[in-house]
A and B are shown apart, each in its own frame.
Chain A
Amino acid sequence: MDFKLNDEQRMLEETVGRLVRDGYPFDAREKARTSELGYSTQMWQQFAELGLLGVPFAEDFGGFNGGGPELMVVAEGFGRGLVLEPYLATVVLSGTLIDALGNDAQKESLISSIVGGELRLALAAYEPEGRYDHTHVATQAEKQGDSYVISGSKAVVLHGDSADKLVVIARTGGETRGREGLSAFVVDADANGVSRRGYETIDGLRAAEIHFDNASGELLGEEGGAADALEASLALGIVALCAEAAGAMEVACDQTLEYIKERQQFGVAIGKFQALQHRMVEMRMELEKARSMTILAACSLDAAPPVRAKRLAAAKAIIGKSGRKVAEEAIQLHGGMGMMEETAVSHYAKRIVMIDHQLGDLGYHMQMLESLLDVDEDAA
């Protein structure tokens, strides 16, 4: 048992840390956030130059061959800076799915372009009626000649507004809710039959509702056999979100602590009041839990499937529960300042809370955990 980062992981941590410190001061982030694109393409190029876009991919594609812990290190750093760029959408969710399902030619062209920073992607999986259920797929794909045509609607596709290509989950068989008959396709975002309605999300990111009307798509992997790979990519996504939340929670705690040490009322720093001290301690306790569960999730991707599922559900649920507490308390302890757009902590609070709405919320993952209560942890 060993919780230390190895040398490579530590270097990765330092690289991301430096990038976030230098490239992500609050006003620079605000500028990128309020730009038309909603993030910085220059920053994206820096990600590429530093090798960050290749973290989960094989060295053949210029990647880093990283697993859960490496992804955790990157995402935690991004969380500390509230990074806006479409890393989760492109690299973690779409890229790893292409990596798992694509043939050599597809991987060669797509993964290499991701790693090089030339291609941004979004995963169009969830649907308007499906909430957090990735197996709820009413979108249909039909084979026509060498390609497929896809019809259906996808909901709150993270960074779907600016993606060059979309990885679309559509049904080639089976019932609307079920793992059988799920297929994955690559679709040009500008292709005929694709209409996108892009918008801002409350935490400063971008997303889109996307409608497909006989849009042409290229199959990834076996027809009807995408479920396992999709779930593996979503698992990676959960690790990344947990880590991002832990990073953001750390900063929210630090900023709050700093604030209550400085802010004077009744002639003393408000951090002298025991009522506030105890709340601050509770925030830190929630942060520790979030860190612990992020590590557990990151180190469990190769565990037996039921154990992996149980740990990931527990991790995401704790993040939802602890994140809410940290976010609300960060605002509360900042008082009126916590309500302000100009105060950085309010942006951290928004991102932390919205992470609970991505890839399954507290309720969804607790139900998942409830269905796995009999799975013996120690059997791992």
Chain B
Amino acid sequence: MDINYTPEELAFRDEVRSFLDNKLPKDIASKVKNGQHLGKDDTVRWQKILNEQGWMAMHWPVEHGGTGWSPIQKHIFEEECAEYGAPTVLPFGVNMVAPVIIKFGTEEQKQTYLPKILNSDVWWCQGYSEPGAGSDLAGLKTKAVREGDHYIVNGQKTWTTLGQHADWIFCLVRTDPNAKKQEGISFLLIDMETPGITVRPLITLDGEHEVNEVFFDDVKVPVENLVGEENKGWTCAKYLLTFERTGIAGVGQSKAALKHLKTVARQVQQNGKPLIEDPLFRNRLADVEMELMALEMTNLRTVAAAQAGGVPGAESSFLKIMGTELRQEITDLFRRAAGPYAQPFLPESFEADYDGESVGPDFANTVSAKYFNMRKLSIFGGSNEIQKNIIAKMILGL
């Protein structure tokens, strides 16, 4: 039993650090660290750098351009990226649709889609949720009717993250309205340029345009865009949902955020002393610190189990709940650190090129927006309540 990295693992960490030192653009890292907006260009620029290095596709098999990393190496890479302020790789292409294409797609589909995903030439978004199908995803109604060489798609998807930038969308659609819930679903790839698709922004409570509604009105989709068999889409969906989730705990993000929070709490004054010396605040910091240590160890145990050949199943549900609650707690402390200056709302200051004056301290500009934005963590990707249902069923046998 040894909780320390082996010399080989440490050497890999050094390699990752040296790559990040040399290749991560400073302007992008600065935006990430200051909680400012990342544009589409920033994300694509960073992902192309990753691809040049051969490090874009952690979870793919090597023959398709994957890194061939062990679970521990993946963990180290994600930790270091978070520490350095590298943008999170957008999962929709490389970590969501690609593994499904690799597993269930035809040779032609692999050749058509995978290289462009690797090089971030195509921006993908996810068409799963619908107004009537959230946690109960299999209740989806968007339908695709086969007509000759095409499916005709009608319906509506929602909560489509960054769909405003997307070139393609992967969708779950109902192809057999008479089958039982999960059985009549198919997995379709759809070009966002196809006539009949309308994207409408959804503005979230922090003023952000991150998610969208996507409407399909007699959209013609070639049958060769079907992945896997018709009516077997639920298999693809399940595969995707249980796919590699090493980063789900967000340990790296929480560590970076806590470090920043401590810096802020040393600067902010309260009763003539740094806030970090306030007993109540310090107590909550200590609580976050110990919970983070517990989360990190639990995450490492899961990673090590995967390294030993185990398949992380419902265990990742524990990590999702613990990790998201902790990240939310940190955003709550940031809000409190800002004090009354948590109130001013200056969305323009979220842009890196903002040259106006802050109302309060610089760090305070984004804290409340971020606090509200991060409420999403316990809702998306299977709400934390759904995660508890999964654990109750899969691990506890209830």
Residue ID in chain B nearest A278 by CB atoms: B388
Q: Is there an interface contact between B301 and A292, defined as CB atoms closer than 8 Å?
A: yes
Contacts of B304 in A (CB 8 A): 1-4
CA A261 to CA B393, docked complex, whole Å: 12
Known: A277-B388, A288-B318. A2 touches B293 (CB 8 A): no
In the complex, which of the residues B276, B287, B297, B389 contacts A296, with contact meaning CB atoms closer than 8 Å?
A: B297
Q: Is there an interface contact between B396 and A314, defined as CB atoms closer than 8 Å?
A: no
Q: Is there an interface contact between A370 and B398, defined as CB atoms closer than 8 Å?
A: no
A110 at the interface (CB under 8 A from B): no
Tier of interface size on chain B: 35 or more
Contacts of B9 in A (CB 8 A): 1
Contacts of B332 in A (CB 8 A): none
Contacts of B103 in A (CB 8 A): none
CA A6 to CA B1, docked complex, whole Å: 7
Known: A2-B1, A69-B1. A285 touches B396 (CB 8 A): no
CA A152 to CA B98, docked complex, whole Å: 72
Q: Is there an interface contact between B1 and A5, defined as CB atoms closer than 8 Å?
A: yes
Residue-wise interface mask of A (139-182) relative to B, using a CB-CB cutoff of 8 A (1 in contact, 0 not) = 00000000000000000000000000000000000000000000
B290 at the interface (CB under 8 A from A): yes
Instruction: List B residues 248-291 near A (Cβ within 8 Å).
Output: 262, 276, 282-283, 285-287, 289-291
Instruction: List B residues 372-394 near A (Cβ within 8 Å).
Output: 385, 388-389, 391-392
Instruction: List A residues 2-41 near B (Cβ within 8 Å).
Output: 2-6, 9
A260 at the interface (CB under 8 A from B): yes
Contacts of A313 in B (CB 8 A): 290
Instruction: List A residues 38-84 near B (Cβ within 8 Å).
Output: 69
Please indicate which of the listed interface residues B262, B283, B289, B395 has the most CB atoms of chain A within 10 Å of its own CB: B289
CA A318 to CA B289, docked complex, whole Å: 11
CA A260 to CA B398, docked complex, whole Å: 9
Q: Is there an interface contact between A370 and B285, defined as CB atoms closer than 8 Å?
A: yes
B178 at the interface (CB under 8 A from A): no
B173 at the interface (CB under 8 A from A): no
B166 at the interface (CB under 8 A from A): no
Contacts of B289 in A (CB 8 A): 314, 369, 373
Least Cβ–Cβ distance between A364 and chain B, in angstroms: 12
Contacts of B72 in A (CB 8 A): 1
Known: A369-B289, A373-B282, A373-B285. A4 touches B388 (CB 8 A): no
Known: A1-B304, A278-B388, A284-B395. A293 touches B1 (CB 8 A): no
Contacts of A4 in B (CB 8 A): 1, 304, 308
Can you list 16 A-B pairs, Cβ within 8 angstroms, ordered by A?
Answer: A1-B300, A274-B389, A274-B392, A277-B392, A277-B396, A281-B392, A288-B298, A289-B295, A291-B298, A292-B294, A292-B297, A293-B297, A296-B293, A317-B286, A318-B291, A373-B286
Residues of chain A at the chain B interface (Cβ within 8 Å):
1-6, 9, 69, 257, 260-261, 271-272, 274, 277-278, 280-282, 284-285, 288-289, 291-293, 295-296, 298-300, 311, 313-314, 317-318, 366, 369-370, 373-374, 377, 380
List 20 other contacts, CB 8 Å, given A278-B392, A284-B391, A318-B294: A1-B3, A1-B6, A1-B9, A1-B304, A2-B1, A3-B305, A4-B308, A6-B1, A257-B398, A280-B396, A284-B396, A289-B291, A289-B322, A292-B297, A292-B298, A293-B294, A295-B297, A314-B294, A366-B290, A380-B4
